Amino acid sequence: MVTPEILTAFPFFAGLSETELRSVSIIANKASFQRGDLMFREDDIAHALYLLIDGWVDIVVNTDATGEQHELVTTLSPGDIFGWSALVDPYLYTGSAVCASPVEAIEFKGADLLGMFELDPKLCCVIMRRVCQSIADRLHATRLQMVSLFVAH
């Protein structure tokens, strides 16, 4: 488990009540990785959601049917949430996460999150809304990236 204080340092968990933070911190686990480690692979069953605490994580996607070709789509930095497929149907990772440096992350197992949600629907709503917002923010950032490429040419 992880202390609530560590979680509140990150915007994703800001504004939660003490009880809610406690519930979330109980199911949170610290996870450390080395540079080059594969945290999860595209198309694998999404068993966990992650909050990046320290380091950089590359998100890589397959660009051909055989899975031989990969492209880097984004690099995540501390505070970013990833692996959200652990909460979203069909519960399969949509990209691979490779550590670009030594990494410290907090891992939330999907099964633990869903169990917590059964007990506290309101918390469930709050977390789901924030996960949705994270994806939407990522989508808007990616679109801006694309538009800036158009303008440059």
Contacts to another protein by CB under 8 A = 61, 63, 71, 73-74, 84-85, 87-89, 94, 117, 121-122, 124-125, 128-129, 131-133, 135-136, 138-140, 142-143, 145-147, 149-153
**Residue number, 18 or 121, with CB nearest to another protein:** 121
Cα–Cα distance between 120 and 85 in angstroms, integer?
A: 21
**Residue number, 31 or 128, with CB nearest to another protein:** 128
Write down the least CB distance from residue 136 to another protein, Å: 4
Cα–Cα distance between 141 and 106 in angstroms, integer?
A: 24
Contact yes or no for 124/108 (Cβ under 8 A): no
Tokens standing for residue 59:
């998100």
Q: 93 to each of 9, 48, 80, 88, how far by Cα in Å?
A: 26, 10, 16, 10
Write down the least CB distance from residue 112 to another protein, Å: 17
**Residue number, 30 or 122, with CB nearest to another protein:** 122
The one-character DSSP state at 45 is B
**Residue number, 38 or 92, with CB nearest to another protein:** 92
